[in-house]
Copies of this chain bind each other. A is one copy, B any other.
Amino acid sequence: MAILATAERLLEDRTLSEISIDDLARGAGISRPTFYFYFASKDAVLLALLDRVVEQGQTAAGDVLDHLAGDPRARWREAISAFYEAFRSHRAVTLACAQVRATNAEVRQLWATVMERWVQRTATAIEAERERGAAPLGLPARDLAVALNSMNERVLYATFADEGPAVAESTVVDVLLDIWLSSIYQTTAP
């Protein structure tokens, strides 16, 4: 769909609020009313874009967290890296979503669903590690999972948007990993 392609292209160097529906329409070679034949609003376009990214990221992540026993550090690192790559490979779209999420309920909802999935996987993995005696008891696994995933989201956003205090792109995964390991295992070398 030409509209989606146009949107993703324009988002590379403008923010969504700086893009008019007319820009999207003209970019796709159609008139403004015709735009409405395909999408109800600008936000709906972003939603569709996000849908695709999510779809794609979903499979990429896989089930790394189901095989922690062998080398926990390496597995957790893969999981965080997957998160990192998902963000990174569609930087423009995810940055735009973070913006629109504040205003648009549907985007917020979709994003929340995605986060929830990550949180649940994380919580399950933490509980499994405690079960097999690799990790000590501590915070409720879900609370810990929510906080850690929120941290990743915010830190990666700052890194990619290069906004305010941020961690360098080259070290950000390892910084996050250390905090995950510390708070789950009380050591960085489980």
Q: Residue on B with the closest CB to A110? A: B164
Chain A 123-155 residues near chain B, CB threshold 8 A? 138-139, 143-144, 146-151, 153-155
Q: Residue on B with the closest CB to A154? A: B154
Interface pair A115/B165, CB less than 8 Å apart: yes
- Measured between C-beta atoms, what is the minimum distance from A105 to chain B in Å? 10
Judged by a CB distance under 8 angstroms, whether A64 is at the interface is no
Q: Which of B98, B146, B147, B164 contacts A115 (CB 8 A)?
A: B164
When all copies of this chain in the complex are counted, the total is 2
Known: A115-B164, A144-B175. Contact between A150 and B158, CB under 8 A? yes
List chain B residues, Cβ under 8 A from A187. 186
- Measured between C-beta atoms, what is the minimum distance from A103 to chain B in Å? 5
Interface pair A178/B112, CB less than 8 Å apart: no
**How far is A163 from B179 in the complex, measured between Cα atoms in Å?**
24
Judged by a CB distance under 8 angstroms, whether A89 is at the interface is no
Interface pair A108/B164, CB less than 8 Å apart: yes
- Measured between C-beta atoms, what is the minimum distance from A164 to chain B in Å? 3
**How far is A67 from B164 in the complex, measured between Cα atoms in Å?**
27
Known: A102-B15, A188-B138, A188-B186. Contact between A179 and B148, CB under 8 A? yes
Judged by a CB distance under 8 angstroms, whether A81 is at the interface is no
Judged by a CB distance under 8 angstroms, whether A182 is at the interface is yes
Known: A143-B171, A178-B139. Contact between A119 and B165, CB under 8 A? yes
Known: A102-B15, A186-B188. Contact between A116 and B148, CB under 8 A? no
Interface pair B103/A99, CB less than 8 Å apart: yes
Judged by a CB distance under 8 angstroms, whether A183 is at the interface is yes
**How far is A119 from B164 in the complex, measured between Cα atoms in Å?**
11
